[in-house]
Amino acid sequence: MAPSAVPTPAAASRLSQLFDERQRASPALHGAEARGASDDEVLPLAEAALRARVAVLRDRIAAVWQPSDEVMRDLEVDDQLVHEADARGT
């Protein structure tokens, strides 16, 4: 690992927080979907999971991680979905 890729304690703490958010958001979404929750309940959970995933990936890219082209394409789509959710005000 390149020295610049080693996170500072503050960066490691932020990454841990982002990862924890992702770890909470995804199961909540899957649980709501599994029990047949309404769209009104699922949409905010999906957006939270998406935002958490984008934040983790952006953090890792800023820390010099070089994702594959496929991951970058997925991230661009995820970013667009987050921007659309922001525009809706959800």
Question: Roughly what angle, to the nearest 10 degrees, separates helices 9-34 and 39-62?
Answer: 150
The predicted model gives 64-84 an average pLDDT of 94
> Is 29:48 a contact under the CB 8 Å cutoff?
yes
Mean residue pLDDT across the chain: 87
CA distance linking residue 79 with residue 55, whole number of Å: 10
Work out whether the CA dihedral 72, 26, 44, 58 comes out positive or negative: negative
Domain spans of the chain, in order of start: 9-88
Q: Say whether pTM exceeds 0.85.
A: no
Residue range 40-72, pLDDT digits in tens: 999 999 999 999 999 989 988 998 999 999 999
